Every structure is written in structure tokens, then in C-alpha cells.
């Protein structure tokens, strides 16, 4: 006899408007210009998405120098340092920027504060492409990076009265609030966004996890190990009281032995994880348990971003 199991499906989960747009950009570029179309960095942090686009003719590289001059190149959703489009223009390449508009907004803010004579502090994860891209809107060394409350105590600024901050869009809402509070305590005149620059999708997915985690025996986040927003969902689940929270890329990653005896499992997905993979995970549970699915909705999303005009025009 199969045992009963309730699956709490988080809503919202999975694709956000920026990811949806970035994937469309690659697909539309392939139909406009034919293969190969080069993509600098994984368009979004998901192997399934990348493999699918590769099969359609996209070529993924890490650096612009790995692209030929005579093929189009697309910059990933995470954004790029200013030097990247500048170099593409110098080489007279066709390039399309798939940076999420919510990341571009942060780029513009950082540049604006700097023009106003404020030194920039970025709250983000060292080495993450979005942080590299945002810091790269200003000359090397201009933006100071803080990753933790601890870092705030040690950061060396030019003038404590003339500072501004921006953040990565995919951070933990709660951790970031603490870092912002530490910055404001040490530098009372620091200028910044109303709260931080975390995007609606990151915020909503964390909220949904908070609603599910306390009542689930286990929680699975469908997402990739290099996906910042997905990893944050695992942390949020554990902190909200779900001791067994794991990231899985696909159903094959599920550790069924660890789930023996559970009665309820929460399921969510990072902003770069396609719904087919969530379906795959739910189906895997159906083959092993007598499953009841309950959707737990904490917000409604209706954000959509247009693709760049060059792709809306015929070739």
C-alpha cells in the first residue's frame, strides 16, 4: 500500500519575467539570424534551459573574446560590466543585451549616484555575474563590496558622509535587511533604494517558502547550484523551520531514503527553473506516494518585459 503524502506547491515559483524575456531573446535571435548565436554566460542559471537552447544552435561561452566578430552575441540576464558592450561595439558585432530590466535599473542607479559624487557600496556575493556586472558599471575599485554584516564593520570608505548603496537582486530579503541596517547605523547619511534592490520575483518566492516551510516535513527547491535566488530559497526554508530543505536540479536528484516517513513536502523552484522540471518532480512523487497536491499562493504576479526592438523587427 502506498502512503499518503501532501505536496504543498508554492506560488509563485519558477520563471520570472526577466528569465522568460532572456530565453525568448535567444530563441528570437536564432530565428532572426540563424545558428550559431553566441551567448555570453549561461543565459539563466539552469542546465536544462541551456542544453535546450544549445540543441537549437546557441553557443555558450564565458567571455566575449571567445566569440567571432561575425556572429550575433547575447549577454545573459545577470548583466555585464560596461566594458563588455563597449568591446562588442568596437568589434562591430551584433549584440543583444538580455540583462533583466530590473538589473539594468540597478546599473543606472549606481552610475547616477557615482556621477553625483557618492562612493558606491554594493551588497552582493563576490564573483556572482550580477555583482561583477553591477560593480563593472564603474571603474575598477570604485565600488566597494560587502557580503555580510561583519564586512560592514571593516569597509574603508573615502568619506562617510558621501556614500550610496545598491544590492544584487537575488539576495535573502532578511539577511539584506540586516546588512542595510548595519550600513545605516555606521553611515547615517548613506543614500539607497527604499529598502534594497531585491526584485519582486526573489521577494515573492521567499515569501511563499516562508508560508510552506513551517508545515512541511521536507522542502525541495528545483534549481541549479549556481543559481543565487534558488539557493536562497533553501536557506529561507531551513530558517523558517523546515529542517530538511534541498536543492534538486531534476527528479533524479531526489534522495528518496531521506524522505522515508514524511507526510508532507513543500515544492518550489528558483526563477530560472522551467515548469517541466517541477512537473517531473511532482510526477516522481506520484509514482511513490498517494499524492494530494495543494497550491499555497502568497502573491499574484503579472510582470512582463518586452524583448529589445531589434528582435521585434523582421530580419
Residue list for the binding site: 16, 45, 78, 100, 128, 169, 199, 227-229, 272
Residue 147 bears catalytic tag? no
Nearer to ligand 0CN, 143 or 222 (CB): 222
Regarding 172 and contact with ligand 0CN (CB under 6 A), the answer is: no
The piece of 111-119, 214-222, 265-273, 287-295 that touches ligand 0CN (CB under 6 A) is 265-273
CA–CA distance, 100 with 158 (Å, rounded to integer): 31
Regarding 272 and contact with ligand 0CN (CB under 6 A), the answer is: yes
CA–CA distance, 177 with 164 (Å, rounded to integer): 15
Nearer to ligand 0CN, 190 or 220 (CB): 220
Show the cell assigned to 257. Answer: 531514503
CA–CA distance, 26 with 68 (Å, rounded to integer): 17
**Among 228, 265, 289, 311, which residue interacts with ligand 0CN (rule: CB under 6 A)?**
228
**Among 97, 109, 130, 196, which residue interacts with ligand 0CN (rule: CB under 6 A)?**
130
Pairing of strands 163-167, 143-146: unpaired
The CA-atom distances, in angstroms, between 120 and each of 99, 107, 136, 292 are 21, 11, 12, 50
Contact at 8 Å (CB) between 223 and 249?
A: yes
CA 35-38-40 angle, to 5 degrees, is 160
Q: State phi, psi for 230 to the nearest 5 degrees.
A: -70, -45
**Among 5, 7, 30, 44, which residue interacts with ligand 0CN (rule: CB under 6 A)?**
44
Q: How far is the CB of 222 from ligand 0CN (least distance, A)?
A: 11
Q: Which residues pair with 71 in a beta bridge?
A: none
Regarding 58 and contact with ligand 0CN (CB under 6 A), the answer is: no
Nearer to ligand SF4, 206 or 229 (CB): 229
Regarding 131 and contact with ligand 0CN (CB under 6 A), the answer is: no
Regarding 100 and contact with ligand SF4 (CB under 6 A), the answer is: yes
Q: State phi, psi for 61 to the nearest 5 degrees.
A: -135, 165
Regarding 222 and contact with ligand 0CN (CB under 6 A), the answer is: no
Nearer to ligand SF4, 12 or 72 (CB): 12
Which of 6, 14, 4, 16 has the alpha carbon at shortest distance from 198? 16
Regarding 170 and contact with ligand SF4 (CB under 6 A), the answer is: yes
Of 27, 42, 109, 130, which one is the catalytic site residue?
130
Strand ranges inside the chain, DSSP E: 4-11, 37-40, 58-61, 73-75, 95-97, 119-123, 143-146, 163-167, 218-222, 244-248, 264-269, 290-297
**Among 29, 77, 222, 234, which residue interacts with ligand SF4 (rule: CB under 6 A)?**
77
CA–CA distance, 10 with 268 (Å, rounded to integer): 5
Regarding 233 and contact with ligand 0CN (CB under 6 A), the answer is: no
Regarding 228 and contact with ligand SF4 (CB under 6 A), the answer is: no
Regarding 132 and contact with ligand 0CN (CB under 6 A), the answer is: no
Q: How far is the CB of 18 from ligand SF4 (least distance, A)?
A: 2
Which of 21, 23, 132 has the alpha carbon at shortest distance from 82? 132
Q: What residues between 239 and 278 interact with ligand SF4 by CB under 6 A?
A: 271
Show the cell assigned to 56. Answer: 537549437
Q: Which residues are catalytic?
A: 130
Q: Which residues bind ligand SF4 (CB under 6 A)?
A: 16-19, 77, 100, 102-103, 169-170, 199, 201-202, 229, 271
Q: Which residues bind ligand 0CN (CB under 6 A)?
A: 18-19, 44-45, 77-78, 100, 103, 130, 170, 227-230, 270-272
Amino acid at each position: 500500500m502506498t502512503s499518503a503524502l501532501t505536496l504543498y506547491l508554492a506560488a509563485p515559483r519558477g520563471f520570472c519575467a526577466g528569465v522568460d524575456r532572456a530565453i525568448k531573446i535567444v530563441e528570437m535571435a536564432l530565428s532572426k539570424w540563424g545558428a550559431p548565436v553566441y551567448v555570453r554566460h549561461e543565459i539563466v542559471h539552469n542546465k536544462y534551459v541551456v542544453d535546450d537552447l544549445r540543441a537549437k544552435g546557441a553557443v555558450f561561452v564565458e567571455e566575449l573574446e571567445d566569440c567571432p566578430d561575425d556572429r550575433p552575441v547575447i549577454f545573459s540576464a545577470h548583466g555585464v560590466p560596461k566594458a563588455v558592450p563597449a568591446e562588442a561595439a568596437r568589434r562591430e558585432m551584433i549584440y543583444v543585451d538580455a540583462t533583466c530590466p530590473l538589473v539594468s535599473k540597478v546599473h543606472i542607479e549606481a552610475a547616477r549616484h557615482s556621477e553625483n559624487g557618492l562612493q558606491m557600496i554594493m551588497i552582493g556575493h563576490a564573483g556572482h555575474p550580477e555583482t561583477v556586472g553591477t560593480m563593472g558599471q564603474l571603474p575598477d575599485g570604485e565600488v566597494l563590496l560587502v557580503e555580510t554584516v561583519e564586512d560592514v564593520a571593516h569597509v574603508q570608505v573615502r568619506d562617510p558622509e558621501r556614500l550610496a548603496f545598491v544590492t544584487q537582486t537575488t539576495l535573502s530579503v532578511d539577511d539584506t535587511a540586516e546588512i542595510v541596517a548595519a550600513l545605516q547605523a555606521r553611515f547615517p547619511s548613506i543614500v539607497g533604494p527604499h529598502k534594497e534592490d531585491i526584485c519582486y520575483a526573489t521577494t515573492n518566492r521567499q515569501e511563499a517558502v516562508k508560508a510552506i516551510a513551517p508545515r512541511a516535513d521536507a522542502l525541495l527547491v528545483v534549481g541549479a547550484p549556481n543559481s543565487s535566488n534558488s539557493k536562497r530559497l533553501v536557506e529561507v526554508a531551513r530558517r523558517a523551520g523546515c529542517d530538511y530543505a534541498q536543492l534538486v536540479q531534476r527528479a533524479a536528484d531526489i534522495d528518496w531514503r531521506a524522505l522515508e516517513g514524511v507526510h508532507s513536502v513543500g515544492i518550489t523552484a528558483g526563477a530560472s527553473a522551467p515548469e517541466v522540471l517541477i512537473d517531473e518532480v511532482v510526477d516522481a512523487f506520484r509514482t511513490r506516494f498517494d499524492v494530494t497536491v495543494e497550491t499555497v499562493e502568497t502573491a499574484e504576479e503579472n510582470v512582463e518585459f518586452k524583448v529589445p526592438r531589434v528582435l521585434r523587427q523582421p530580419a
